[in-house]
Amino acid sequence: MTKSDKTGMNRRTMLAATGAAGLAATITPVQAALLPDPDVAFDFDVVVVGTGMTGVAAALEAAQTGARVVVLEKLSEKTMGGNSALAGGGFAVPSEDSDAARQSYVEDFIKKGKGRGNSALYDVFAANARRDVDWLRENGVTFLPEGPLPPYRLNIAVAEPGWYMGMPSLLKSMRAKIEEAGGEYRFDTKARQLKMDKTGAVVGLRAVGPDGVVDFNAPSVVLATGGYAANRQMLADYSDPEAGGLMVRGRETATGDGLLMAQEAGAGLAGMGGLMALHIAAVDPRETAAGNPWAVLPYTVAVNRHGKRYVDESLGYVAHGKSMLRQPGQRAALIFGSGIAESDAAQPTLGGFKRLGIAITEADSLDELAAAIDVPADALKATVEEYNAAIDGDAAPGLVPPKAALARRIEGPRFFAIQPLAPGVTLTFGGIMIDPTARALEADGRVIPGLFAAGEGAGAPFFDDYIGGGSLINCLVMGRVAGNQAAARAKS
Ligand SMILES: Cc1cc2nc3c(=O)[nH]c(=O)nc-3n(C[C@H](O)[C@H](O)[C@H](O)COP(=O)(O)OP(=O)(O)OC[C@H]3O[C@@H](n4cnc5c(N)ncnc54)[C@H](O)[C@@H]3O)c2cc1C
């Protein structure tokens, strides 16, 4: 890192100087009106914005190829890691190192996104996912033994020691490796504006931090700033007026800063429209991150405040979360009996809730259960009776709404309810337009030289829903691609 002199230049002299120098650049007049010239500037090869999974993958890759890297984070050191620090820690990888496994991996992702996700990125995930998880292992990250994730034909690798527990230490060990390779972290430092030269290339950014306004000059900037799940205005404007009022499962700081900065620099956005651009899950409002009953949900009967079913529970937790937007008071309960409570399939949810201290409501009868969860007993009993009677093999096609799979009778001796559940935004799918090498694009497809973007805030990888572990693998693979490309540009 090189520290530039305090310039003391006014805007006019700065423009003249940078015109001659070419790379040392200025910001556009519109942006210049927002922030004053910096007191201090630093020169790096690669500036990475964000310390989540994407940022650490980009920074370590760039630093290990010899680039001088700085990682900026608007949060404090204590809360570094953004939403990645709160994540379940599952990474979706092809089930083995073979062309057939890679092909079915891509097919499953395409199918999950109804053919409207970014399949060019799925090819990159498929080609690199296993290698990149191994790269994490080489850099000190440990995983539980990989396992299948039915109904998909892929595997899930969960960071040790297990679901919702492994990400903080993963991010910490990546930080140690980045620093070992010469990279630097700057906390409480918010990137505010990208800087561009006269050719339209990005040549750094202007940030505000403990030292005031600071410029970080570099031929490559990687935006790894995550999504906009906590930007209520963006949620309401782009997706659905209801969405602006939803609970946020992750950090309130996921405000889409990277999307806004990139847009100011001319980048296009993709995949922003409608509820299709959101991942919504119905979770326990007392524990919005880990209080997600995803494992048991498909086997249960989901009822609203009136004791009525409203969704095919076997469609999974995102379809369930979105369906709750239209339920009275946006509150629901998952009902099940002893057989389901004792099944292996339910244990990731029941074990996780126990670890978190979230009580599951139990009763000896449906009458008692209805009273405990405050829904009309007659309605609940009628719903369960109709449900049990309609089960035919593994499904209940005659019900309204029907159940396509995993239908199990709700029977005693004990009855259970997970409640109250409320919908919250987990992640957002829309983002900065990029190509498969993580270069940011204008809306007409032109490359913005020097600007790279990856992770949740780039590429619109998913549409409507995603396969669990799909986002972290996107962050890892595309973050690493961005770091590699950014370092290569700096060298060239
Ligand atoms: C509760 C929960 C559980 C999840 N579980 C899983 C899972 O098991 N598997 C899976 O695949 N996905 C999961 N996801 C989704 C996944 O965690 C995220 O999509 C992913 O972690 C995003 O990583 P990222 O690096 O793109 O962004 P983030 O991890 O959000 O990191 C972005 C960072 O950039 C910083 N930043 C933003 N703007 C600025 C700025 N202007 N200046 C400086 N810094 C800035 C932020 O503070 C943040 O630290 C989960 C999400 C949540 C909320």
Confidence band of 24 (pLDDT split at 50, 70, 90): very low
Q: From 425, 445, 465, give the residue that closes a domain.
A: 425
pLDDT in tens, 215-225: 999 999 999 99
Q: How many CA atoms lie within 13 A of 18 on its CB side?
A: 21
Integer CA distances (angstroms), 57 to 75, 136, 475, in order: 18, 9, 8
Percent of all residues in the chain with a pLDDT value above 90, rounded to a whole number = 89
pLDDT score recorded for residue 19: 29
Q: Measure 296 CA to ligand 1 centroid, in angstroms.
A: 25
Report the distance separating Cα 227 and Cα 12, nearest Å: 36
Q: Are residues 201 and 318 in the same domain?
A: no
Is 79 near ligand 1, meaning CB less than 6 Å away? no
Is 47 near ligand 1, meaning CB less than 6 Å away? no
Confidence band of 30 (pLDDT split at 50, 70, 90): very low
Residue nearest to atom 7 of ligand 1 (CA): 88
Q: Measure 110 CA to ligand 1 centroid, in angstroms.
A: 23
Determine the residue of 471, 473, 475, 476 to mutate for testing ligand 1's pocket, defined as the one with the most ligand atoms within 8 A of the Cβ atom. Answer: 471
CATH number of the domain within which 293 lies: 3.90.700.10
Q: Measure 235 CA to ligand 1 centroid, in angstroms.
A: 16
Q: Are residues 364 and 307 in the same domain?
A: yes
Determine the residue of 472, 473, 476, 477 to mutate for testing ligand 1's pocket, defined as the one with the most ligand atoms within 8 A of the Cβ atom. Answer: 472
Q: Measure 177 CA to ligand 1 centroid, in angstroms.
A: 20
Q: Are residues 28 and 61 in the same domain?
A: yes
Is 159 near ligand 1, meaning CB less than 6 Å away? no
Classify the C-alpha dihedral 112-116-117-120 as positive or negative: positive
pLDDT score recorded for residue 18: 30
Is 25 near ligand 1, meaning CB less than 6 Å away? no
Q: Are residues 145 and 80 in the same domain?
A: yes
Q: Are residues 419 and 436 in the same domain?
A: no
The separation between CA 232 and the C-alpha centre of its own chain, rounded to angstroms, equals: 17
Q: Measure 291 CA to ligand 1 centroid, in angstroms.
A: 17
pLDDT score recorded for residue 33: 55
Q: Measure 66 CA to ligand 1 centroid, in angstroms.
A: 26
Report the distance separating Cα 103 and Cα 37, nearest Å: 51
Q: Measure 242 CA to ligand 1 centroid, in angstroms.
A: 23
Q: From 372, 393, 425, give the residue that closes a domain.
A: 425
Q: Measure 82 CA to ligand 1 centroid, in angstroms.
A: 5
pLDDT score recorded for residue 306: 97
What tokens does 345 get? 């399939």
> Higher confidence at residue 39 or residue 51?
51
Q: Are residues 265 and 131 in the same domain?
A: yes
Q: Is 138 a residue whose pLDDT tops 50?
A: yes
Q: Are residues 412 and 343 in the same domain?
A: yes
Q: Are residues 382 and 457 in the same domain?
A: no
Ligand 1 atom closest to residue 469's alpha carbon, by position in its atom list: 11
Q: Measure 81 CA to ligand 1 centroid, in angstroms.
A: 7
Q: Is 7 a residue whose pLDDT tops 90?
A: no
Strand-pair partners of 333? 303
Determine the residue of 49, 72, 83 to mutate for testing ligand 1's pocket, defined as the one with the most ligand atoms within 8 A of the Cβ atom. Answer: 83
CATH number of the domain within which 150 lies: 3.50.50.60
- What are the two backbone dihedrals, phi and then psi, of residue 240, each rounded to the nearest 5 degrees? -165, 135
Q: Are residues 81 and 143 in the same domain?
A: yes
Determine the residue of 253, 427, 473 to mutate for testing ligand 1's pocket, defined as the one with the most ligand atoms within 8 A of the Cβ atom. Answer: 427
Q: Are residues 285 and 264 in the same domain?
A: no
Q: Measure 55 CA to ligand 1 centroid, in angstroms.
A: 10
Q: Is 322 a residue whose pLDDT tops 50?
A: yes
Residue nearest to atom 13 of ligand 1 (CA): 87
Q: Is 32 a residue whose pLDDT tops 80?
A: no
Domain count across the chain: 2
Q: Is 183 a residue whose pLDDT tops 60?
A: yes
Q: From 370, 404, 425, give the residue that closes a domain.
A: 425
Q: Are residues 164 and 238 in the same domain?
A: yes
Q: Measure 398 CA to ligand 1 centroid, in angstroms.
A: 41
pLDDT in tens, 260-295: 999 999 999 999 999 999 999 999 999 999 899 999
- What are the two backbone dihedrals, phi and then psi, of residue 145, each rounded to the nearest 5 degrees? -55, 135
Ligand 1 atom closest to residue 250's alpha carbon, by position in its atom list: 53
Neighbour count for residue 238 (Cβ, 10 Å) = 22
Strand-pair partners of 456? none
Is 271 near ligand 1, meaning CB less than 6 Å away? no
Is 70 near ligand 1, meaning CB less than 6 Å away? no
Average pLDDT over every residue of 350-377: 96
Q: Measure 181 CA to ligand 1 centroid, in angstroms.
A: 23
pLDDT score recorded for residue 457: 98
Q: Which domain holds residue 206?
A: 1-273+430-492
pLDDT in tens, 295-310: 999 999 999 999 999 9
- CB–CB of 222/47 below 8 Å? yes
pLDDT score recorded for residue 369: 98
Q: Give the highest mean pLDDT range of 3-17, 24-38, 260-274.
A: 260-274
Q: Are residues 202 and 310 in the same domain?
A: no
pLDDT score recorded for residue 242: 79
Ligand 1 atom closest to residue 158's alpha carbon, by position in its atom list: 8
